[in-house]
Amino acid sequence: MSAETVLVVEDEAEIADLIKFHLERDGFRVSVARSGRKALESVQVLEPALLLLDLMLPEIDGLEVCRRIRANNEHADLPILMLTAKGSESDIVAGLELGADDYMTKPFSPRVLLARVRALLRRNSAADSAGGRVLSLLGGRLQIDAVRHVVSVDGAPIELTITEFELLRHLALRPGFVRTRDQIIAAVHGANTILSSRTVDVHVTAVRRKLGPLTDAVETVRGVGYRFCEAPTV
């Protein structure tokens, strides 16, 4: 069983204890931070494999914690799963736009939570050991290195979250082929994951923004989904 460390950021003791119990029973090491400030300090000290983050926190809220982590190159690819009572579409979109890899709303099923944690960690591990293949696209302007989890545009690295990386790589593996939103969710999150199509749209928007001059490489196919364009107009 895995001995990776999960940092649980939750100020409600009962919920934190419940999450800690189920994660430890599943073989994880667990550390709990009860404020946003403590979470940022713990990320630096513990180097966790995954951050399970509440939004409504004392001192620094969860959205700001996520923003600061994503702005720090050292931890920019740390998997972040938001677990929050704020379940409106605007709250979820805000979290995803700041770089969260996944989200769940309270109340939650411990079994589903564990499945989401394991899925995020599997994706991170797969990206680190994906056979050494480097995708070179658009005349070499875009490079996707699955082993080092690095994407570069015109030779300059860009920072993507795990979800953004897997989404881009999934589309880029078959240039010109259209992928529906459901197919993208299944490829990135797992076949049994149920997410709104809006989630995919938010991640695509983030990927396009980070691709800079190659933003048109990810093309919308109206009414269907997305595809990687073999010859974008850039």
What pLDDT, in 10s, does the model give residues 164-210? 998 999 999 888 888 898 888 888 876 566 666 788 899 999 999 99
Flag whether pLDDT at 1 surpasses 50. Answer: no
Position 194 scores a pLDDT of: 62
Flag whether pLDDT at 233 surpasses 50. Answer: no
**Structural contact between residues 132 and 97, judged by C-beta atoms closer than 8 angstroms:** no
Domain with CATH 1.10.10.10 in the chain: 130-228
Listed range (4-8, 114-118, 215-219) with the worst mean pLDDT: 114-118
Rounded to an integer, the average pLDDT of 1-24 is 90
Rg (CA), the chain: 18
Q: Which fold has domain 130-228?
A: Arc Repressor Mutant, subunit A (1.10.10)
Per-residue pLDDT tens digits for 85-115 = 877 778 888 888 888 888 888 888 999 899 8
Report the run of H or E that residue 125 belongs to, with start and end.
helix 110-128
Position 131 scores a pLDDT of: 46
Per-residue pLDDT tens digits for 36-93 = 999 999 998 998 999 999 999 999 999 999 989 988 767 777 889 999 887 777 888 8
Strands across the sheet containing 29-33:
29-33, 5-9, 50-53, 80-84, 102-105
Domain with CATH 3.40.50.2300 in the chain: 5-127
- In the structure encoding, which two tokens stand for residue 7, read together? 């940092």
- DSSP-derived letter for residue 66 is H
For residue 192, list its beta bridge partners: none
- How many residues are recorded in the chain? 234
CA distance 129 to 146: 7
CA distance 150 to 165: 8
Least Cα distance to 173 among 209, 137, 204, 149 occurs for 137
Position 191 scores a pLDDT of: 59
Position 20 scores a pLDDT of: 96
Per-residue pLDDT tens digits for 115-169 = 889 888 876 665 555 444 688 889 889 999 887 788 999 999 998 988 899 899 9
Q: Which fold has domain 5-127?
A: Rossmann fold (3.40.50)
Flag whether pLDDT at 28 surpasses 80. Answer: yes
Compute CA distances 196 → 16, 89, 92, 172, 201, whole Å. 27, 10, 10, 22, 9
Please report where in the chains the tokens 């997410």 appear, as a residue: 195
Position 31 scores a pLDDT of: 96
- How far is it between the farthest Cα atoms of the chain? 54
Q: Which residues of 101-122 are buried (b: 16+ CB within 10 A; e: fewer)?
A: bbbbeeebeeeebbebbbbbbe
For residue 143, list its beta bridge partners: 136, 152
Position 146 scores a pLDDT of: 80
CB-based contacts of 152, cutoff 8 Å, min separation 6? 142, 143, 145, 158
Helix axes 13-25, 110-128, angle to 10 degrees: 60
**Structural contact between residues 216 and 233, judged by C-beta atoms closer than 8 angstroms:** yes
